[in-house]
């Protein structure tokens, strides 16, 4: 079937293929319409089809507006395609768009029930520890920090929270380098983009919210929107939870920190009253 879809797309939009992946010269959104139309009206027999659109971005007002328009239009189209495909051939079409951008919070009410929103969280602690032990990451971290393997497991959970991408980077680069390059640096970039807020004032406001994560929604729109844009925090209240969310200090009812290391880095900055901290200070904060 993939070959037939590739041929159909080649006749309709410009593509490049290496027989494994399809790189679209047109927009991925346009490709979504083409694939859905092909499935609905060209496939000879019905199947249950899942289309996955990965790495959807909505990190600026312009991109957010484009995403809103695409979601609304595509939701209407896919409903029509799915209906025709179901009654014509007995198959179904579903689309999943994967995004790490919590800016979509601002368009929930616009698209309404046409789109289902879900949060797929990181690995559970048990699953995370199995992966860590299988890869041997805790031994590398234990050697780097001069601690036991058991304590290294605890440190990894408190800082990473089961995020598989972060675990891979820690395996490749080490815990300190990951904290410096991916956590502390991201917070620095977030603070530099705060419109109309002095960095010191922002730190003061953030420090008062960290005892209860949901309070970040009340510290000023420019601050929490910047936190969402930079994937430091995410909005979880309106979404269905399709995986287990751990009960931890960095997760609230409305908001959560994307990676717990962001939470502990901000706490360390608030305690020190400075944006300039070290990886060791983040680790000490996380371990309490």
* CA–CA distance, 4 with 8 (Å, rounded to integer): 6
**Token pair recorded at residue 235:** 């909005």
107 near 64, Cβ under 8 Å? yes
To the nearest 10 degrees (0 to 180), the angle between helices 149-160 and 137-145 is: 100
Question: What SS3 state is found at 93?
Answer: strand
* CA–CA distance, 196 with 107 (Å, rounded to integer): 24
Beta bridge partners of 48: 92
Closest by alpha carbon to 82, among 90, 215, 171?
90
* CA–CA distance, 215 with 201 (Å, rounded to integer): 16
Most confident of 66-75, 102-111, 128-137: 128-137
**Token pair recorded at residue 155:** 């440190």
Report pLDDT for 268. 95
Report pLDDT for 99. 66
**Token pair recorded at residue 121:** 């969280």
To the nearest 10 degrees (0 to 180), the angle between helices 137-145 and 125-135 is: 80
For residue 15, the surrounding DSSP H or E stretch is strand 15-17
Q: What is the pLDDT of residues 206-225, one digit of tens each?
A: 887 788 888 887 777 778 87
Q: What is the pLDDT of residues 57-70, one digit of tens each?
A: 666 667 767 777 77
The mean per-residue pLDDT over the stretch 172-177 comes to 95
More confident residue, 167 or 115: 167
* CA–CA distance, 111 with 69 (Å, rounded to integer): 9
Closest by alpha carbon to 158, among 237, 254, 267?
267
Q: What is the distance, to the nearest Å, from the Cα of residue 194 to the centroid of all Cα atoms in its chain?
A: 21
The mean per-residue pLDDT over the stretch 117-140 comes to 87
**Token pair recorded at residue 190:** 């977030």
Question: What SS3 state is found at 209?
Answer: coil
Closest by alpha carbon to 286, among 185, 177, 175, 182?
175
What pTM, to 2 d.p., does this model score? 0.73
N- to C-terminal Cα separation, the chain:
54
Q: Is 148 exposed, middle or buried (0-12, 13-18, 19+ CB in 10 A)?
A: exposed
* CA–CA distance, 135 with 222 (Å, rounded to integer): 40
């Amino acid at each position: 079937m993939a070959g037939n879809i590739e041929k159909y797309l080649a006749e309709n939009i410009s593509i490049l293929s290496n027989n494994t992946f399809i790189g679209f010269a047109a927009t991925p959104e346009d490709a979504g319409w083409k694939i859905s139309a092909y499935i609905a009206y060209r496939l000879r027999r019905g199947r249950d089809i899942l289309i996955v659109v990965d790495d959807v971005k909505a990190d600026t007002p312009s991109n957010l507006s484009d995403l809103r328009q695409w979601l609304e239009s595509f939701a209407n189209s896919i409903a029509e395609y799915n209906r025709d495909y179901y009654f014509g051939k007995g198959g179904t079409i579903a689309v999943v768009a994967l995004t790490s951008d919590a800016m979509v919070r601002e368009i929930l009410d616009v698209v309404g029930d046409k789109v289902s929103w879900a949060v797929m969280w990181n690995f559970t602690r048990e699953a995370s520890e199995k992966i860590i032990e299988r890869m041997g990451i805790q031994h590398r971290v234990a050697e780097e920090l001069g601690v036991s393997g058991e304590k290294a497991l605890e440190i990894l959970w408190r800082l990473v929270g089961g995020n598989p991408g972060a675990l891979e980077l820690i395996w490749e680069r080490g815990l300190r380098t990951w904290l410096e390059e991916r956590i502390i640096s991201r917070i620095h970039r977030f603070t530099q983009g705060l419109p109309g807020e002095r960095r010191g004032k922002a730190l003061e406001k953030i420090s008062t919210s960290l005892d209860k994560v949901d309070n970040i929604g009340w510290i000023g729109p420019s601050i929490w929107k910047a936190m969402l844009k930079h994937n430091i925090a995410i909005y979880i209240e309106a979404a269905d939870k399709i995986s287990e969310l751990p009960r931890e200090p960095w997760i609230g009812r409305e908001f959560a920190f994307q990676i717990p290391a962001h939470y502990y880095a901000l706490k360390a900055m608030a305690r020190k009253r400075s944006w300039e901290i070290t990886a060791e200070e983040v680790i000490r904060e996380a371990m309490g």
